[in-house]
């Protein structure tokens, strides 16, 4: 980065989100009070990934470089490191507890005690082909007293921590890491896409009450469940907007490009909202002329696949053990959530509150960015900004699994004496 951040007492953060259909690079400035302004963006279409996993390194690197170059031109900054999202149905989670005796002559909980307890919790059996992305403290128990959010400075003999551990396929993470590095960018932290999206669209009240976020992308749907202000279950479903497009192409016997255009222009997941006699033009494969089809037929095809997706979401919520215990319902985001009628069918299938959310909490160059399609990338910046502000204020913030964010936080301390 150049010296502008030091002069103006601002931190500069970068987010890279490489999805099935698009690559996004965002550059944001964080002020001392935590405000986040976007000063650079690159959002080219992407290739090289399928359902969130790298299947072609050269194409993925080219997509990342295109996004980075656009963001650099707009902002005037040279990207050196970034927060990077991780998706794909190989992302899984589990919860674990760890306990230690409080050290020190005064028997007061220190940062070292918290870190030791977290390390004990992390020492769970995870297969060697998995890589830990996050070890996030959910809450603490101090001498049997549960519900403690911040134990630092409390008098205690025994400290226990409950953590949420997110892990992913080691090979998938290594291939993504290789692509980022080949684009000449270091990784500050790898962040699960659903947790990043949660930063951008969920309120603290929703997280406390109990809520799920579902980021509906082109290839996958990334989910995270929150209660008591912290994540408790993270998973990825291998279904996304492309599945709907494929169904439309097959059902109406047209090509994928035409099917995607029809889905966006005329599609809805609610057939009841469609005039039964309205017609749409369908491009016929291999023929120059099109034919007509009822818009109701298009809606029926879409509704079937979207119903299946929400049924899968319901199964995942039940698997978490919190079925029926999400008062704030489920918050939908991601590009595929913008399809008309999506929230309504979600409410019908899940029998809980459902809303479609756009990212908030940022200013600056936000034209065309404040839509559900950019929740993950904006959430990555907010994730980094929160870490910066909390570290600056002296609050405990668990280190990422790889520890690479430590360098960034040391730099932030030098900016904020």
Output the pLDDT for position 200: 97
Same domain, 259 and 340: yes
User: Is residue 30 in some structural domain?
Assistant: no
Output the pLDDT for position 391: 57
Output the pLDDT for position 287: 64
Same domain, 251 and 148: no
Output the pLDDT for position 147: 85
345, 369 in Cβ contact below 8 A? no
Output the pLDDT for position 304: 97
For 194-223, the pLDDT digits (tens) are 999 999 999 999 999 999 999 999 999 999
* Number of independent structural domains in the chain: 2
Output the pLDDT for position 343: 97
**Locate tokens 């290739």: which residue?**
47
Same domain, 352 and 210: yes
User: Is residue 417 in some structural domain?
Assistant: no
Question: Closest Cα partner for 148 from 205, 233, 231, 229?
Answer: 229
Same domain, 116 and 242: no
pLDDT < 50 regions, the chain: 1-9, 394-417
248, 262 in Cβ contact below 8 A? yes
* Packing angle, helices 295-320 and 241-251, rounded to 10: 150
Residue 97, domain extent: 92-169
What are 123's two structure tokens?
């020492």
Last residue of a domain, one of 169, 189, 219: 169
User: Is residue 388 in some structural domain?
Assistant: no
């Amino acid at each position: 980065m150049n010296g502008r951040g030091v002069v103006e007492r601002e931190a500069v953060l970068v987010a890279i989100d490489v999805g099935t259909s698009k690559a996004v690079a965002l550059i944001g400035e964080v002020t001392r009070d935590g405000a986040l302004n976007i000063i650079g963006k690159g959002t080219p279409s992407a290739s090289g990934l399928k359902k969130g996993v790298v299947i072609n390194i050269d194409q993925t690197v080219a997509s990342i470089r295109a996004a980075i170059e656009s963001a650099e031109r707009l902002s005037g900054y040279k990207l050196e490191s970034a927060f990077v999202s991780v998706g794909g149905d190989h992302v899984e989670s589990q919860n674990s507890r760890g306990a230690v005796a409080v050290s020190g002559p005064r028997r007061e909980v220190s940062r070292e005690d918290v870190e030791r307890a977290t390390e004990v919790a992390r020492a769970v059996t995870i297969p060697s082909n998995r890589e830990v992305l996050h070890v996030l403290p959910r809450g603490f128990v101090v001498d049997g007293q549960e519900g403690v959010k911040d134990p630092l400075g409390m008098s205690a003999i025994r400290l226990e921590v409950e953590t949420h551990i997110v892990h992913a396929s080691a090979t998938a993470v290594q291939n993504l890491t290789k692509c980022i590095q080949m684009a000449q960018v270091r990784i500050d932290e790898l962040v699960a896409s659903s947790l990043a999206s949660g930063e951008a669209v969920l309120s603290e009240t929703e997280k406390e009450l109990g809520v799920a976020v579902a980021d509906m992308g082109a290839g996958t749907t990334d989910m995270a469940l929150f209660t008591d202000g912290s994540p408790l279950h993270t998973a990825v479903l291998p279904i996304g907007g492309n599945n709907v497009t494929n169904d439309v192409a097959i059902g109406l016997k047209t090509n994928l490009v035409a099917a995607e255009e029809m889905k966006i222009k005329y599609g809805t997941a609610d057939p009841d909202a469609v005039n039964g006699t309205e017609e749409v033009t369908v491009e016929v494969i291999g023929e120059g002329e099109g034919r007509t089809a009822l818009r109701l037929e298009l809606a029926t095809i879409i509704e079937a696949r979207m119903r299946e997706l929400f049924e899968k979401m319901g199964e995942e919520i039940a698997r978490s053990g919190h079925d029926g215990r999400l008062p704030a319902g489920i918050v939908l985001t991601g590009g595929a959530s913008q399809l008309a009628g999506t929230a309504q069918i979600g409410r019908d299938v899940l029998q809980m509150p459902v809303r479609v959310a756009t990212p908030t909490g940022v200013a600056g160059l936000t034209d065309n960015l404040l839509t559900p399609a950019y929740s993950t990338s904006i959430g990555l910046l907010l994730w980094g900004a929160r870490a910066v502000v909390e570290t600056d204020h002296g609050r405990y913030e668990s280190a990422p699994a790889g520890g690479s964010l430590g360098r960034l936080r040391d730099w932030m301390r030098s900016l904020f004496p």
